[in-house]
Amino acid sequence: MDRSSPPLFPAHKAGLFIVAILALLLSACSSMNTPVADIPATETSPTTAPQEASVENSFSPIEFIDYLDRDVSIDALPQRIVSLAPSVSETLFAIGAGPLMVGRTDYCNYPPEVETLPSIGGFAASSISIETILDLEPDIVIGGSTYQSEVIDALDTAGITAFVVQPASLDEIKKTILLLGTITDHANDAQIIIDDMQTRIDAVTIKVTEIPQEEKPRVFYEVWHEPLMTTTHKTFIGEIIELAGGVNIFNDLNEQYPSISAEQIIASDPQVIVGPSNHADQLTAEIISQREGWQDISAVKNESVYILDGDIVSRPAPRIIEALEEMAAILYPEMINE
């Protein structure tokens, strides 16, 4: 789910487990060395930050650097797009470019109409059918993870323009939305979404900004339970916790999605435990209290265990703001809901 991105998991935990979680996290990370994608620059204008880019709906050739550190050039308005990630599909539909899509992954399920498109496979490179993609005759293929680099390379060899977007922060999500808007001639629509996102971010932060640090609740975000995994300040999920007025107990770890021990969690005594719905059956106060030593954690004793929709909180797409609002409502229900 990124320039903050070391591989989501250590190499010895690779395999089907990684594929499954990657699909659920929808490419929230990439590699530590991957640069933030540059903003598209026209032939006559220098590269600028996306929120400063022109939002005139007239297409001009675009050049930028993607999250695989590859130079990408788009010389004409695409008419046929294949998406390799749910976050990409969701964003394209949100900005009004959904009709340009001709292919999706098995995991692309929002908005519902995206499921009427043919699937090119799963999320992992090994599950994606290059042949199916080529049969769809796309102008552009947009990946959502650096783990899909083999697919991107194969498409490049076949003469198909392909690139990866993998934002790791809210700011990068907004930049990606504008990038996709610019590419599809929907920059105005993209900017409207970005402005709305910022308005909603401000509405949350203005309410929690004055809360003293010592009064902010300690939060444990459980990405997965076996092995125990969490997230840090290097991800948009970690940023959401902070913006919502929480203190992520593992905020300062160096990885994006590190494995941690139960002992570390117990010692930190989180007051709130939150996790995505993809393993909701393991995230109830009753179930967690059965884990050895967890019954004395404040969040468990007070039944302060909450589930967020994994299709929202784990996808770097416009709906991520809903996750921020819900996180704030969990931490400060009276303040946020007033």
Q: Assess whether 44 and 155 both reside in one domain.
A: yes
pLDDT at 34 (0 to 100): 33
Q: What was the pLDDT predicted at 32?
A: 30
Neighbours of 249 (CB within 10 A): 22
Looking at the structure of the chain, the number of domains it has is 2
pLDDT in tens, 96-155: 999 999 999 999 999 999 999 999 999 999 999 999 999 999 999 999 999 999 999 999
pTM, two decimal places: 0.85
pLDDT tens digit string along 200-224? 999 999 999 989 999 999 999 999 9
Residue for token pair 């198909």: 160
Q: How crowded is residue 189: how many other Cβ atoms within 10 Å of its Cβ?
A: 18
**Domain boundary at 129, 164, 192, which?**
192
Neighbours of 43 (CB within 10 A): 9
Residues 225 and 261 in one domain: yes
As a whole number, mean pLDDT of residues 249-255 equals 96
Q: Is 152 found in the same domain as 31?
A: yes
Domain with 155, as residue range(s), is: 11-192
Q: Is residue 198 part of a domain?
A: no
Domain boundary among 192, 227, 248: 192
pLDDT of residue 58: 64
Token pair 């650097």 is found at: 65
| 114, 220: one domain | no
Residues 217 and 187 in one domain: no
- Check whether 2 has a pLDDT greater than 70: no
